[in-house]
Amino acid sequence: MKLTILGCYAATPRTFTNPTSQILEIKNRLFLIDCGEGTQVQLRKNKIRFSKINHIFISHLHGDHFFGLVGLVSTFTLLNRATDLHIYGPKGIKEIIMLQLRLSNSWTNYGLHFHELESSETQVIYEDEKVIVKTIPLKHRVYTNGFLFQEKIDKRKLNVAAVESFEIDSCYYQNIKNGKDIVLEDGRLIENHKLTFDPIPPKNYAFCSDTAYDERIIPLLNDVDVLYHESTFLQSEENLAKRTLHSTAKEAATIALKANVKQLVLGHYSTRYENIKLFKEEAQTIFSQVLLADDGKSFDF
């Protein structure tokens, strides 16, 4: 599982910082999460192949999280994209994109599918044989979702030496990987755990931006491997965070602690701060496993 930060600063794009956008590579799928202005240039700079992006998840309709979407949708057309593109985001996102395509008389030459969200409860919005994506309802000034990306549990790994020692025919291997016990021709029952190894534990990633401090999300985040939680402000701006329904670094760390996550990644820094290391220092007073997102940074988990 690999996370590439295309942009992780709040509010407006600047010469050297970009609004929110990130690429999650999970089980060989590329998911684009949020799409602030300039995302397509950030994709190029980070050498992400446009054609590998088939699913885009938009947390909410504040500009720093989606103003780059319409440009990316248009660029896909210019690149002669053929495969379908799926966009998951708040109700209204389809109207925004389609209005601009209609007025520019520039339709896409690929299938463009909108999956508009309006539920205030968590829901499964994407599922295939290896990955499942659920919403994490967040508390912000407009309707907002975080997203929980979960790998499904892999099949068990065949213990080749064991199956060969029992002279088991290879036609049974799929059953064994699926967890079945085996009855040999002589009638002996061989339990599955003697023929297989545990699969690699599935990983998961939770993206929570933008949000006020909200303990209601903790059950959804329990034990996740990596939590990206916004920390727009430091504790010194606690009141501003409350008023704007954002979080401080300390609050993000508190959520990480209470949800018992393995790793916290901070981001969505207000551009008022010159030194983002302060976010890490503050969060680590609560929770030790803290990483700082920054534009162009990649994390392998």
Residues forming contacts to its own copies in the complex (CB under 8 A) are 11-15, 37-38, 40-41, 44-45, 61-63, 67-68, 70-71, 74-75, 78, 90, 92, 95-96, 99-100, 103-106, 141-142
Please answer whether residues 66 and 89 qualify as being in contact, where contact means their C-beta atoms are separated by less than 8 angstroms.
yes
Number of H helices, E strands in the chain: 10, 18
**Minimum CB separation from its own copies for residue 142, in Å?**
5
**Minimum CB separation from its own copies for residue 153, in Å?**
38
**CA–CA gap between residue 152 and residue 45 (Å, rounded):** 31
Q: Which of 34, 64, 169, 295 is catalytic?
A: 64
| Nearer CB in complex with its own copies: 70/264 | 70
64: annotated active-site residue:
yes
Q: Which residues contact 52 (CB under 8 A, 6 or more apart)?
A: 30
**Minimum CB separation from its own copies for residue 239, in Å?**
19
Query: What's the residue count for the chain?
Result: 301
Q: Which residues contact 128 (CB under 8 A, 6 or more apart)?
A: 29
**Minimum CB separation from its own copies for residue 30, in Å?**
19
Given its phi and psi angles, is residue 76 left (phi above 0), alpha (psi -120 to 50 degrees) or beta? alpha
What six digits make up the tokens of 21? 């956008």
Binding residues for Zn(2+): 60, 62, 64-65, 140, 210, 268
| Nearer CB in complex with its own copies: 46/284 | 46
**CA–CA gap between residue 125 and residue 127 (Å, rounded):** 7
What six digits make up the tokens of 66? 């989606």
**CA–CA gap between residue 211 and residue 141 (Å, rounded):** 9
| Nearer CB in complex with its own copies: 40/204 | 40
Amino acid code (one letter) for 174: Q
Q: Is 52 helix (H, G, I), strand (E, B) or coil?
A: helix
**Minimum CB separation from its own copies for residue 73, in Å?**
9
| Nearer CB in complex with its own copies: 37/282 | 37
| Nearer CB in complex with its own copies: 28/105 | 105
Binding residues: 60, 62, 64-65, 140, 210, 268
Please answer whether residues 31 and 21 qualify as being in contact, where contact means their C-beta atoms are separated by less than 8 angstroms.
no
Q: Which residues contact 222 (CB under 8 A, 6 or more apart)?
A: 259, 260
Which positions are annotated as active-site residues? Answer: 64
